[in-house]
Structure 1
Amino acid sequence: MGFVVSDVFSCSTQPYVLTNTIGRARIRHYSLKGVFFLQKVNIFGCCELGFKPLSAESDVALDSDKSRYKWVKIGSDITEEQKKAILKLPPKMINRCKALMQQIICYSPEKGSLSLLLEAWVKSMKPERADWLAVLKELDRLNHPMYFEVAELCLLAESFEANVRDYTKIIHSYAKQNRLNEAESVLLCMKSRGFTCDQVMLTALVHMYSKAGNLKLAEDTFEEMRLLGVQLDKRSFGSMIMAYVRAGKLDQGEALLKEMEEQEIYAGREVYKALLRAYSMSGDSKGAQRVFDALQLAGVIPDATICGLLMNAYIMAGQLSEACIAFENMRRVGIEPNDKCITLLLTVYETENNLSRALDVLIDLERDGVVLGREASELLARWFKKLGVVGEVELVLRDYASNLVH
């Protein structure tokens, strides 16, 4: 079984054509914005690959003496690092997959291009989809630098039987590394082969554009999902809300949050926390309180970090008494304050110059077994030093050091 190259773009004006004959197959390379596309050709007999990866950046004709990959059996003349990598291959991996993995581990451009290596493997081993997937899984596990190149070439292999999920996985992997151009190249190739974007793919694109900070493309993709009439889910809503948070458009993010609630769809904890943090850092206490209430209605149990964000919002807004109330409510429901929450409370009392109240709270915390952390201890030490109480400073620092030891 061989490879088939099909459904390819021809949208470049007066393309620069390079030809290379491999066996009886003539391959045409079209350069479009640094991406190679392949024109469908009729191949008689065995189908062979003769192309560059989709992410290639320059047109390079294959030399006639490199039209075949030199498949040399891996011997003892390899590096120690290569030997160790081969020994770490899964014992249950079937031999034809191991054979390819060994060639990839010991690969050098002098032997021929990677596409020709895969041609040789296909011709001799006749792999099925499961074999391709096993190789890709192992390359991914190893975080191998050739993973993406092999993955892109797999998409054009007839025996791989590519589907839209395969494209989604590669695009998502590129997105995680913020490699937006490569992801879009794969998307373009996918569309050229007749695959359409479904909900999973579009959601992955919204997430990718959101993470990259491209609000316009995230909005366009999200709107495309609406126009297609697909059911928007927790992940697609959450990705779009995060795009608005990153763009500083918190009101639009909150509007989507309300739309979700109306449909009885609730965002993940991190989405609520991101929106709450954004309101907190901007000193919008009303917005922070709305999100804090919304996350509780969604069944998200607040922790010390979330409570600290609400406290910080009140402090930045100058509403010091509300920050103290938030701290008291947190303790009342059994949430143990972290170092940040205690530091924020001490900041309030320092601003009000209320040392006695601060000491009362610290005594209560100590009675409950809550130990001061680094940030709170340093704030208290600075406060005491400013008041000229040197002995108390030494005591605080000594207690903090003792806590670190224990």
Structure 2
Amino acid sequence: MMGTYCNNNLVCNLYYPHYSIINRGVLSRRNSSCQNPIYFGFHKHRFGSVLAGIGMEEVVKEVNGENERRFRWIEVGKKVTIEQRQAISELPFRMSNRSKALMRQIICFSAEKGTISDLLESWVRIMNPIRADWLSVLKELRIMEHPVYLEVAKHALQEESFEVNIRDYTKIIHYYGKHNLLEDAENFLTLMKEMGFIYDQVILTTMVHMYSKAGHHDRAKEYFEEIKLLGEPLDKRSYGAMIMAYIRAGMPEEGENLLQEMETQEITAGSEVYKALLRAYSLIGNAEGAQRVFDAIQLAGITPNDKMCSLVVNAYAMTGQSQKALIAFENMRKASFKPTDKCIASVLVAYEKEGKINTALEFLLDLEKDGIVVGEEASAVLAKWFRKLGVVEEVELVLRDFATSHQIS
């Protein structure tokens, strides 16, 4: 009996730090004016089942002076679905027992039990969580993309045990932005101000990023200007968010101006920003802009990849500058990048715009000699071009003869 009693006290301390066990499984509130004992019923359950958290049926109740129940915590029982049991089994091994207890409740939560707010209040009173427990739960809910994540996060801000700081508010604004809840983000920003939090560069950059993704470059610019008013040096994230806003708005020139402003301050943008700006110029056929950005990439110490090289080829192809498109293509091969079919198609488009059918065929034959086979996209460009010329059959014969002679040799 003594061994059982000790184990029960250990479990009680682990799961219910504000309670103690008296007289064979009776649970009472520590340091409380409540005189009514609470029958916990440990004799019905094995110690292992308590730690596992599956198949538990014990009930914890807290009463006030008028003997009215204030809240009720019922551990998840045997009636769990296969999906719920699976989700519980996948909780991180290193997650604290307090956090796991709450996660089990959330995974098995139903409206009949009350509200999420009631559940969280019960968890706080019974288990006395610390900030690390809150953060562990929020991280897991965010990974699971659980629908109650935002509700739990907002409730946490009101709890003393959460030890809230300004970055916690930033995460919620980021969540609003990710789900395109612009008005909610603005309202939350106002709430922050009312609570005495001063906007910093991180929060304002989050707002720039949010409006950038939503396609509102004007609002993004307003918040970008607010960042400048802080009087602190702008970082690469703030610049990058605004550059992306200009790119999404179809204003790559404005984005490039900011990129040059960064360079004067010796701030290097992320490779994704350079690539996005290069793609924007490439798609509209602004070859000069694409070449400037490509040169800037190399000056920034970023090694161009095959996709960046392909964008330069495409930019020259869009403007019908076949010679420059070919030079960019050959430079790509010299850098040991295998040209994609799309890249080959771009060169053919450049030749088509200039009507250089013979040069295009020589280009294809050279590729064939090097073992590079024309794919579907490049073939489609050729077929369309040959149909315009009305020489489909003739070209097919020429290519077939070449392929035959190449195999013989």
What is the TM-score when the length of structure 2 is the normalising length? 0.74
Offset, 1:340: 1.4
Judged with a 3 Å threshold, the aligned counterparts in structure 2 of structure 1 residues 90 and 329 are, in CA distance, closer, same or farther, namely closer
> 2:238 maps to which residue?
236
Offset, 1:164: 0.8
Secondary structure class of the residue paired with 2:392: coil
2 CA distance for matches of 1:313 and 1:187? Answer: 42
Judged with a 3 Å threshold, the aligned counterparts in structure 2 of structure 1 residues 143 and 232 are, in CA distance, closer, same or farther, namely same
Aligned residues: 333
273-282 vs 96-105, which moves further: 273-282
| 1:136-215 equivalent positions in 2, closer than 5 A | 136-215=138-217
Match of 1:256 among 246, 254, 258: 258
66-75 vs 173-182, which moves further: 66-75
CA contact (8 A) 1:100 1:121 kept: yes
Judged with a 3 Å threshold, the aligned counterparts in structure 2 of structure 1 residues 285 and 91 are, in CA distance, closer, same or farther, namely closer
231-240 vs 325-334, which moves further: 325-334
Secondary structure class of the residue paired with 2:92: coil
> 2:229 maps to which residue?
227
| 1:53-68 equivalent positions in 2, closer than 5 A | 68=70
Offset, 1:310: 2.2
315-324 vs 335-344, which moves further: 315-324
Offset, 1:353: 4.0
> 2:350 maps to which residue?
348
1 CA distance for matches of 2:139 and 2:222? Answer: 33
Match of 2:297 among 295, 298, 310: 295
Offset, 1:125: 0.7
2 CA distance for matches of 1:67 and 1:292? Answer: 69
2 CA distance for matches of 1:186 and 1:306? Answer: 40
Judged with a 3 Å threshold, the aligned counterparts in structure 2 of structure 1 residues 390 and 171 are, in CA distance, closer, same or farther, namely farther
Offset, 1:109: 1.9
> 1:93 maps to which residue?
95
1:102 aligns with 2:78: no
> 1:331 maps to which residue?
333
> 2:392 maps to which residue?
388
> 1:363 maps to which residue?
365
1 CA distance for matches of 2:275 and 2:333? Answer: 20
Q: Cα deviation per residue 1:31-87 (whole Å; 9 max; x = unaligned)?
A: xxxxxxxxxxxxxxxxxxxxxxxxxxxxxxxxxxx9955422211122222222222
Q: What letter is aligned with 1:87?
A: S
C-alpha root-mean-square deviation of aligned residues, in Å?
A: 2.6
2 CA distance for matches of 1:383 and 1:283? Answer: 20
CA contact (8 A) 1:69 1:111 kept: no
CA contact (8 A) 1:384 1:390 kept: no
Q: What letter is aligned with 1:388?
A: V
Offset, 1:388: 2.7
1 CA distance for matches of 2:186 and 2:71? Answer: 30
| Greater RCO, CA 8 A, separation 6+ | 1
2 CA distance for matches of 1:194 and 1:123? Answer: 27
CA contact (8 A) 2:333 2:339 kept: yes
> 2:5 maps to which residue?
none
Gaps of 5+ in 2: 1-67, 404-409
2 CA distance for matches of 1:69 and 1:106? Answer: 18
2 CA distance for matches of 1:328 and 1:211? Answer: 36
Judged with a 3 Å threshold, the aligned counterparts in structure 2 of structure 1 residues 313 and 90 are, in CA distance, closer, same or farther, namely closer
2 CA distance for matches of 1:150 and 1:323? Answer: 55
Q: What letter is aligned with 1:335?
A: F
1 CA distance for matches of 2:399 and 2:157? Answer: 67
Secondary structure class of the residue paired with 1:264: coil
Q: Cα deviation per residue 1:182-222 (whole Å; 9 max; x = unaligned)?
A: 33333222222211122222222211121111222211211
CA contact (8 A) 2:320 2:350 kept: no
1 CA distance for matches of 2:253 and 2:93? Answer: 54
Offset, 1:391: 8.2
Q: Cα deviation per residue 1:323-348 (whole Å; 9 max; x = unaligned)?
A: 23322333344333211110011122
What is the TM-score when the length of structure 1 is the normalising length? 0.75
CA contact (8 A) 1:69 1:113 kept: no
CA contact (8 A) 1:339 1:374 kept: yes
2 CA distance for matches of 1:272 and 1:212? Answer: 20
2 CA distance for matches of 1:73 and 1:329? Answer: 66
2 CA distance for matches of 1:326 and 1:272? Answer: 18
Match of 1:113 among 108, 112, 115: 115
> 1:47 maps to which residue?
none
Secondary structure class of the residue paired with 2:302: coil
Judged with a 3 Å threshold, the aligned counterparts in structure 2 of structure 1 residues 67 and 393 are, in CA distance, closer, same or farther, namely farther
Which entry has the higher C-alpha Rg, 1 or 2?
A: 2
Structure with the largest fraction of helix: 2
Judged with a 3 Å threshold, the aligned counterparts in structure 2 of structure 1 residues 142 and 333 are, in CA distance, closer, same or farther, namely closer
